[in-house]
Structure 1
Amino acid sequence: MSIRQVSASELKTRIENEPHLFLLDVREPNEFEYARIKNSVLIPLNQIPQRLGELNPQQEIVVICHHGVRSQQACMYLSHSGFKNIANLTGGIDAWSCDCDSSVPRY
């Protein structure tokens, strides 16, 4: 099964044109507090199974982590749970900081 990948610059354009795009951040709370994309929602990777009901399977979800590994795992889990419209932010918040918004701290 192949998960759709979205680059940071593509995501930036999509956010500008689709303000209701759901951004799911699967990092830990301390990482989220340090650096995040505006309007993203934090559900740490290990909490996704218990909090699946908070997500809308009909809505497009872009999943974010530090470099794109945990978010890819989350995408696979969501896909196996029946979510059809999901994408992984390639390079994670680090790519976002480098390519789109240098005010977001790197770590």
Structure 2
Amino acid sequence: MTPPSFQHLTPEALDEWLTADAPLTLVDIRDPMSFANGHIPGSRHLDNDSVPALLEASPRAQPMVVVCYHGHSSQQAADWLAGQGFSRVYSLDGGFTEWQHRHPDRVER
């Protein structure tokens, strides 16, 4: 069994990166309505239609953080994105649900 090609990222670590204004690509793979109802500031919604633009425009060496509902689906997406040549891909532990619980002041609607 091959090890995952992505890493796990805690909400605390992401909060530190955002506070430091670290360059990163933040993608949210939840459904469009959930994304519209609240998301992490600076994130972009990613679905099958927007993947080609992401692949074309995002720097491969810049950290990419994938967000889903609870931190499960994002692992599969992160693994796939790492396979597309992104070298530093992370799955947000606990997903948006945990983020919103820990950082309600850092949710954009």
State the TM-score, normalized to the length of structure 1: 0.83
Paired AA for residue 98 in structure 1: H
Amino acid at match of 2:20: N
Share of identical aligned residues, percent?
A: 28
Amino acid at match of 2:45: L
Aligned mate of 1:79, from 82, 85, 101: 82
Structure 2 gap ranges (5+): none
Distance 1:74 1:83, change over 3 A: same
Residue 35 of structure 1, CA deviation: 1.6
Alignment equivalent of 2:16, drawn from 13, 18, 29: 13
Question: Which residue of 2 is the match for residue 39 of structure 1?
Answer: 42
Counterpart of 1:58 in 2: which secondary structure? Answer: coil
Displacement of 1:49 = 5.0
Q: 2: CA distance between counterparts of 1:9 and 1:37?
A: 13
Q: Deviations over 1:63-86 (max 9, x none)?
A: 111111221111110111221111
In structure 2, give the amino acid aligned to 1:57: R
The number of residue pairs the alignment matches comes to: 104
- Gaps of at least 5 residues in structure 1 are none
Contact 2:100/2:106 (CA < 8 Å) preserved in 1?
A: yes
What residue is the counterpart of 1:91 in the other structure?
94
Give me the CA root mean square deviation: 2.1
Contact 1:9–1:100 (CA under 8 A) maintained in structure 2: no
After the TM superposition, which parts of structure 1 deviate over 4 Å for at least 4 consecutive aligned residues?
none
2:50 and 2:83 mapped to 1: Cα distance?
Answer: 13
